[in-house]
Structure 1
Amino acid sequence: MSIVSEYPFWLIIFCIALGAIYASVLYTGKNSKKWHKNIRRLLFIIRFIAVTLLAFMLLEPFFKVNTKIKQKPILAVVTDNSASMVATKDSAFIKNELPKKISSFTKNVSKDINIEHYNFGDSIRIGQNYNFDNMFTDLGNSFIDLKNRYISKNLIGIVLFSDGIYNTGINPMLAAEQIHVPVFSVALGDTNIYTDVSISSLTSNRETVFNNYFPIEFSILATEAINENVQVNVFLNDKNIFSRDVLINEKSFSKIFNVNGFADKKGLNKIYVSVSSLQNEINKVNNSRTFYFNVNEDKKKILIVSNFPHPDVRALRQTLETNLNYDVKSVIDESNSGDIADYDLIIAHQIPSINRGSSTLLEKAKSANTPVWIIAGNKTNFKVLNALNAGISVRVRDASENKITAIVNEKFELFNIPQNEIDFVKSMPPLNSVFGEFSTSFGANILLWQKIGSIVSSQPLLSISQVGNQRWAFLLGDGIWRWRLYDYQRNKNFNLFNSFFSRIAQFLCQNSDRSRFRVIYEPTNYETENIKFSAELYNQNFELINSEIVELKLFSNSENYNFTFVPDGSGYSLNCGRLKSGEYNFTATVKSAKYPYSQSGKITIDDYNPEFAETKADFNLMNQIAMQTGGISVDIENLDEINKFLESKKLIQTSYIKEKKYIEIVDWKWILLIIILLVSIEWVVRKREGFY
């Protein structure tokens, strides 16, 4: 055990000096002669110790205690809970027999091992849940999550029950490299190849501009259908814009199509692509795909400004330029920004800068109520930043570089963040920030928290706030260009990076709407997602209020729902839960004679289930994961082989870890009792001697 403090220990000299001076004033000099010599010495020592201890408490000292903790070995049993597990002919076995097999296996595991159960689909969850209804499988990020959960713990292996099919997240092979414990693969599912044709992918722009052409790309796959003819059709808002007969001339056939659509309808639009089914085809669910996108009247103008070149600027520009709805411009030196009022969003990288005492760019943006997104780092002038009173405050302790990992705040309500983007952010390299204390104003919405090591702090990394009629976003770290490279390294594209940062820009750009009542929502959703809305209501001074009741009516041809928004921060939020697929219209209304506002719109909910797009089990991937991690692949009927492996490799061993605990001395009751006892003794002695 040792004592540590945030303050330098040489300050203890002043604590001792203060105690000595205080005691000397009372018990030395002329006034001290009235005391007996021994009494005077006793009182001097008591007062000296008491004052020194009190002064020492002002240094906020801690006890640092090192303890040893015994850890039994842990075996994680992880089961694939996605819909593809029950999409083939062995579904009855998976539903009825697999849970029994897992239960029997865990009962036979050594009593010296702790078994911890997980199930995964779009994310990993604790417990034994065998519904097999998840519509996404993210095996890669499930491995990453397990790795993070068991840092400094005695994990000796992972038993994986899965069909090896994944359709979102990072490549499981890349993730498995980071685990450093053996994975025991139990491959399940059907590996037979059946006659099948499918629309394997469909992509287009999420947003485009009215009266413009836009690209549509899709691909078809076919197996065991050589010399068969199929017809491919593309519909835009129920109008056939492309039709072609395709001859399948290979046993394993694939073909990519590129089609141009014309945006002649404002608002929400629908692309539907289908391929005709084959005579002996079993799985016809994957024969069509739907894609929804929004058509806007005008382009949003975005200005990216930095006072010096930085790869973040290029990464953001390349990302935003993929959206035809944005007109993006970047400049070096804020003096070249031009008329700020012309833009719908200003992205200021490391502005205000440390080499400048002020920022005319931000002052102009504030005057024009133009939304601003500040990306800060160790070249940011935080004194000027704090003076903006824009919803963030940073107290810098050390301007040297601090590495901070990001984690998404899953309670964030302003707009939806899909699970694959949440997992993407969690697995990205750290950003560069400064050592300091970060705080937000009341009503700020935290999108990303700072994570240092394995600890998620209560300090924001990315926040969004509304000040008057202006939106502000603050990313308190630079280096996002590395995220873009990691996305490409893992997925061979920039889709997750582009989607995540485009969502933020899209939300901020909406601030150019000057209406007094606004509803913010995602126009396209999946059946697997909770449908969320948020709303903003402004008074006559364009100040956010949420004192009025706001209701939402959601309706389709067959369904009608009524909801009431909940006050959230300075605005409103609403979680409608999961809804059936289809097109829904909505009307949000402020129930107030003083604010007679309403807004209508449309959302779509897609029933596409990627779990049925590919149902052939990937035993090869399961075997590779086991080999790469030093584990083994076993058949479901031979699970005892895992126990034999653990015993033969002598992995069943108890470990000990050292844990540091910090205890504030001021909270230690014995210190307080000692000080009270010393002061009490002094008082009793003084009273006994006739002095007070």
Structure 2
Amino acid sequence: MKTETLIYIILAGIVAILLAIFQYYNKKKSISKLDMLFCFLRFLSIFSILLLLINPKFEQLRFSIEKPNLVVAIDNSSSIKHLNQDTSVINLIEKLSQDQDLNNKFNIDLYTFGESFKASDSTTFSENQTNINNAFGQLSQIYRETTAPTVLISDGNQTYGNDYQFAATTYKQSIYPVILGDTVTYTDLKIQQLNVNKYTYLKNRFPIETILVYNGNNTINSRFLVTKGNTTVYSKSIRFSKEDNSKVINFTLPSNGVGVSSYKATIVPIDNEKNKVNNSKNFAVETIDQKTKIAVVSDFIHPDLGALKKSIESNEQRSVVFLDSKEIINQINDFQLIIVNQPNYKFKELLEILKKENKNHFIIVGTKTDLGFLNNSRQDFLNEITNQTESYQAELNADYSPFLVDDINFESFPPLNSNYGRVSFTIPFDPILNKSVNGISTNEPLLVTYETNGRREGVLFGENIWQWRAQSYINSKSFNQFDDFIGKLVQYLASNKKKSRLNIDYESFYNGSSNIVVKAEFFDKNYVFDTRETLNISVTDTISKENKTFPLILKNNNFQVDLSSLPPSYYRFTVRATRENIAKSGSFQILEYNVEQQFLNANVTKLQQLATNSEGKSYFIDNTTSLINDLVNDNRFVSIQKSHKNIIPLIDWKYLLAIIALSLSLEWFIRKYNGLI
């Protein structure tokens, strides 16, 4: 407490005493007990009021010791078990967690990583993919402003994601890799990579590219085979040597039947080869009997046209052709969907033919669209003409019912240029996206679909959708999310199927190392998404005849079930609603492939480089005795003493108010009781 405040308190006490004596002073030689009580109560009231005004405070200083964090990041992928390192890892974790010196110096935090990154003190070594760089990205957010040396326990084999070798540029902590696995180089043959399209067309030949790699010093002969069931459909003799240790084989196979065809590529193992799992790779191709042809009609060049072509043709089942408003007239029946970009009076004949032929089409309305012409040629919607433009962002309509729409973070996308003014529909429509300005919804449609007279139509009230595709890549490091969204929209508009109350989204086949997620939507009789329904999926293995039933979990605006636990096989399934007699069936195949079992050795070079870049040190799992000593004795990692200063009032104002009220009340009641009032 400051000296100045203490003086004020003393002066307040003196003033309170003087005022109390002054009010009850008389010329009698002695003062009565009653007057003394009144004097004391008045002193208490005045002194409390003055203390309330002075509000005396004092500082409370507390000290605490903050230890640095020791992060232990553990590779939880199945490659650790495949390399027979799981027991060694568990023993090392126990050793680090229970060491007294480490616990005295650090706060030890355990994390596991593989496909996902999470805080955990248990390991299963069961994850099918490894993304080490993602683990460092997550840790950089958690320990951004703290000291956190990191022990990375891994074989260094990453199956997807950015290269982690230079993670030290963003993760500003010292990294101590503990290298798992054998560093001895064995003679090995493997299929390094196999490239093939997911789709082909009936009576065509589809291309395959295979990269074969040999590790060894001797010259060997082997054979590369591709089999379908028990039939060999391709074979080639291969010769490797120490100098000529890789081969690229390009060939084609015929597609003679509609549906999914499974194949197995194999390079015949050599004698005494240690890892034979990476000698084979399964793949599948779906053969379809027709290709969806889409015409994009525009009389001027715009970046949106290229973005739409890229997104639509990301699915091999679809092709895009660019035409102008005159060229399309004689070819209109060659296409399943017509995309009309910013129509004007030159499109009059085209729009009349689309209506007459009852053809599905999609219209893009932008700043160059002739709204007067469009209003006169359309009867389903009208644009208010203001001759002004506005930029609108997208807001997803979670109740959209015709097909499944995933939220790909539309609100982060740049605004589209659009015409300012209301749009009024004369028929029922389903908005996928609504307009918003500065985060405020306008309840105006931005992207809609509707059905009329048996045909499907869509309208986008904005241009520069190419910026959305670019932003989607920035958000997810891939075009896949945006391309899938456009693909679903095009698939719906190009089809003439009727609405269904139960929609299912799944792939015809899955790789054994990928997530197997089946999605579904259920709608009530008014085609409003129904969250009250319970959906179950019954999955039957067609080979073993084993049947399993799983519940679908409500997540965001759809139901989902993760079937990644199913072993490779061919499955038939039925999704059924429990409250109503509605069900849908389908089938898919899980291919046998585990990318984590393709590795034979630890990636020593990258892990050692990672340690060097981060000013850390690498250790082999069989020689970690010095790891603890190095961490404990490193002077860069020291505890920090922190002080916390709190300013606390001497007396809480609530208590002072209570004392004032109590003393004044007592004085009043005593005076009243004694007839002095």
Q: Could you tell me the TM-score, scaled by structure 1's length? A: 0.61
RMSD: 5.8
User: 1:507 matched to which residue of 2?
Assistant: 488
Give the counterpart of 2:202 among 171, 192, 210. 210
Give the counterpart of 1:638 among 617, 621, 626. 626
- Seen in structure 2, the aligned counterparts of structure 1 residues 648 and 272 have a Cα distance that, compared at 3 Å, is same
User: 2:92 matched to which residue of 1?
Assistant: 98
2:126 partner amino acid: D
Higher mean C-alpha deviation, range 509-518 or range 168-177? 509-518
Give the counterpart of 1:583 among 567, 570, 585. 570
CA distance in 2, matches of 1:122, 1:503: 22
- Decide whether the 8 Å contact of 1:81 with 1:129 is kept in 2: no
1:606 partner amino acid: L
User: 2:249 matched to which residue of 1?
Assistant: 257
Q: SS state of the match for residue 249, structure 2?
A: strand
- Decide whether the 8 Å contact of 2:432 with 2:449 is kept in 1: no
CA distance in 1, matches of 2:583, 2:226: 36
CA distance in 2, matches of 1:280, 1:301: 52
Q: SS state of the match for residue 241, structure 2?
A: coil
Which ranges of structure 2 fall in alignment gaps of 5 or more residues?
1-64, 382-388, 419-427, 645-677
1:411-443 deviation line (CA, Å, top 9, x unaligned)? xx98899xxxx9xx99xxx8534799xxxx999
Give the counterpart of 1:183 among 175, 186, 211. 175
Give the counterpart of 1:432 among 414, 432, 455. 414
CA distance in 2, matches of 1:144, 1:525: 28
How far off its partner does 1:183 sit? 2.5
- Seen in structure 2, the aligned counterparts of structure 1 residues 231 and 326 have a Cα distance that, compared at 3 Å, is same
How far off its partner does 1:263 sit? 1.4
Higher mean C-alpha deviation, range 605-614 or range 565-574? 565-574
- How many positions carry a matched residue from both structures? 535
- Does 2:467 correspond to 1:479? yes
- Seen in structure 2, the aligned counterparts of structure 1 residues 91 and 573 have a Cα distance that, compared at 3 Å, is closer
Higher mean C-alpha deviation, range 128-137 or range 575-584? 575-584
- Decide whether the 8 Å contact of 2:522 with 2:533 is kept in 1: no
How far off its partner does 1:260 sit? 0.5
- Does 2:125 correspond to 1:132? yes
1:471-518 deviation line (CA, Å, top 9, x unaligned)? 979899753665799899x9xxxxx53x54443344334324434445
- Decide whether the 8 Å contact of 2:167 with 2:610 is kept in 1: no
Correspondences of 1:451-490 after superposition (within 5 Å): 478-479=466-467, 482=470
How far off its partner does 1:190 sit? 1.5
How far off its partner does 1:215 sit? 0.8
CA distance in 2, matches of 1:155, 1:444: 50
- Decide whether the 8 Å contact of 2:168 with 2:614 is kept in 1: yes
CA distance in 1, matches of 2:591, 2:286: 15
Which ranges of structure 1 fall in alignment gaps of 5 or more residues?
1-69, 391-397, 491-495, 657-692
- Decide whether the 8 Å contact of 1:377 with 1:432 is kept in 2: no
How far off its partner does 1:79 sit? 1.1
How far off its partner does 1:613 sit? 0.7
Largest Rg, 1 or 2: 2
- Decide whether the 8 Å contact of 2:166 with 2:610 is kept in 1: no
Q: SS state of the match for residue 97, structure 1?
A: helix
1:167-210 deviation line (CA, Å, top 9, x unaligned)? 11122135443223333322222211122212222221111221
- Does 2:608 correspond to 1:627? no
How far off its partner does 1:82 sit? 0.9
Q: SS state of the match for residue 648, structure 1?
A: coil
How far off its partner does 1:549 sit? 8.5
- Does 2:77 correspond to 1:82? yes
Q: SS state of the match for residue 76, structure 1?
A: strand
- Decide whether the 8 Å contact of 2:536 with 2:578 is kept in 1: yes
How far off its partner does 1:214 sit? 1.1
User: 2:281 matched to which residue of 1?
Assistant: 289
How far off its partner does 1:279 sit? 1.7
- Decide whether the 8 Å contact of 2:183 with 2:604 is kept in 1: yes
CA distance in 2, matches of 1:549, 1:120: 33
1:185 partner amino acid: P
CA distance in 2, matches of 1:471, 1:102: 63
- Decide whether the 8 Å contact of 2:537 with 2:576 is kept in 1: yes
Higher mean C-alpha deviation, range 166-175 or range 502-511? 502-511
1:128 partner amino acid: D
CA distance in 1, matches of 2:276, 2:183: 18
User: 1:277 matched to which residue of 2?
Assistant: 269
CA distance in 1, matches of 2:96, 2:166: 27
1:567-592 deviation line (CA, Å, top 9, x unaligned)? 96999745153312101123557899
CA distance in 1, matches of 2:609, 2:208: 35
Correspondences of 1:500-579 after superposition (within 5 Å): 500-511=481-492, 512-516=494-498, 517=500, 519-527=504-512, 529-534=515-520, 553-555=538-540, 556-561=542-547, 563=549, 573-575=559-561, 577-578=563-564, 579=566
How far off its partner does 1:330 sit? 4.4
- Decide whether the 8 Å contact of 1:118 with 1:124 is kept in 2: yes
Q: SS state of the match for residue 231, structure 1?
A: strand
CA distance in 2, matches of 1:562, 1:363: 53
CA distance in 1, matches of 2:466, 2:642: 42
How far off its partner does 1:465 sit? 8.1
How far off its partner does 1:299 sit? 0.9
- Does 2:587 correspond to 1:602? yes
- Does 2:216 correspond to 1:224? yes
CA distance in 2, matches of 1:157, 1:435: 49
1:135 partner amino acid: N
How far off its partner does 1:346 sit? 6.8
- Decide whether the 8 Å contact of 1:443 with 1:570 is kept in 2: no
How far off its partner does 1:631 sit? 3.2
User: 1:314 matched to which residue of 2?
Assistant: 306
1:213 partner amino acid: R
CA distance in 2, matches of 1:106, 1:84: 31
- Seen in structure 2, the aligned counterparts of structure 1 residues 433 and 246 have a Cα distance that, compared at 3 Å, is same
- Seen in structure 2, the aligned counterparts of structure 1 residues 366 and 170 have a Cα distance that, compared at 3 Å, is farther
1:643-677 deviation line (CA, Å, top 9, x unaligned)? 35752376968799xxxxxxxxxxxxxxxxxxxxx
Give the counterpart of 1:165 among 138, 147, 157. 157
CA distance in 2, matches of 1:626, 1:328: 49
Q: SS state of the match for residue 245, structure 2?
A: strand
How far off its partner does 1:612 sit? 0.9
CA distance in 1, matches of 2:125, 2:143: 26
CA distance in 2, matches of 1:215, 1:573: 37
How far off its partner does 1:286 sit? 1.4
Q: Percent identity?
A: 24
- Seen in structure 2, the aligned counterparts of structure 1 residues 100 and 213 have a Cα distance that, compared at 3 Å, is same
CA distance in 2, matches of 1:378, 1:415: 30
1:140 partner amino acid: N
CA distance in 2, matches of 1:629, 1:377: 51
2:467 partner amino acid: G
CA distance in 1, matches of 2:200, 2:352: 32
User: 1:659 matched to which residue of 2?
Assistant: none
CA distance in 1, matches of 2:168, 2:591: 32
1:209 partner amino acid: Y
CA distance in 2, matches of 1:639, 1:457: 55
Give the counterpart of 1:647 among 635, 647, 652. 635
- Decide whether the 8 Å contact of 2:113 with 2:131 is kept in 1: yes
2:507 partner amino acid: E
How far off its partner does 1:240 sit? 2.1
Higher mean C-alpha deviation, range 118-127 or range 167-176? 167-176
Correspondences of 1:337-416 after superposition (within 5 Å): 370=360
Give the counterpart of 1:244 among 227, 236, 240. 236
Q: SS state of the match for residue 165, structure 1?
A: coil
